[in-house]
Amino acid sequence: MRISAGRWPSWGCLAVCATYVLVAAFFIWGFSTPDLDRVWTLHHELKIGKLLKLKAGDRALLEECMARHPRLARDLLDNEEIGIISAHSEGWIATPTATILRTTNSEKYRSLILEVQTPRDLLPYRITVRGRGWKKTQKVDEQGRLEIDLPPVPETPEVVEVRMRGRSFEPDPSILGVRVGFGKRP
């Protein structure tokens, strides 16, 4: 095919080029991971301890999918209103950062209750609890019970992160020694 100055390619040539572009776009789209598949993978990796904490983009994706799919948060929590989705054993966290989901129906839960049994030689440290648009930090000087009030229930489900900061904590429940529970309104 010859293109002389000032002339456009033929319609047939443009149709062939457009077909190649559309086929490439189709394959790019086909090989991308759907959002809900990515959420399932994140949930599984958090649950088994392969993923220690969510990256900002993954956290945003999870919150966006929970806003679009109202039952998703409850399904990830086995029909509960609030709960830990990261690695834990009966509330005893297994990673220095615990990921909690909070649904819009969790108004009866007013606080996080942390039972701190961290070995004394690893004290003091800070626990930071943050959600969408809020953050609370509490210094942990001794073993015992620590209660952190939660803000009002959000309009869409949110991800709450509980993070231990200070010492270099290994992802080991026996070293971390923190159990996360939820305090109900009287």
**What value does the mean pLDDT take over residues 38-67?**
95
The string of pLDDT tens digits covering residues 59-90 is: 999 999 999 998 999 999 999 999 999 999 99
In whole angstroms, give the CA distance from residue 129 to residue 160: 7
Is pLDDT larger for residue 43 or for residue 70?
Answer: 43
CB atoms within 10 A of CB 109: 21
pTM score over 0.85: no
Q: Which of 7-16, 48-57, 68-77, 97-106 has the lowest mean pLDDT?
A: 7-16
Please name the fold of domain 33-184. Answer: Jelly Rolls (2.60.120)
* Spatial CA neighbour of 127 closest among 154, 90, 100: 100
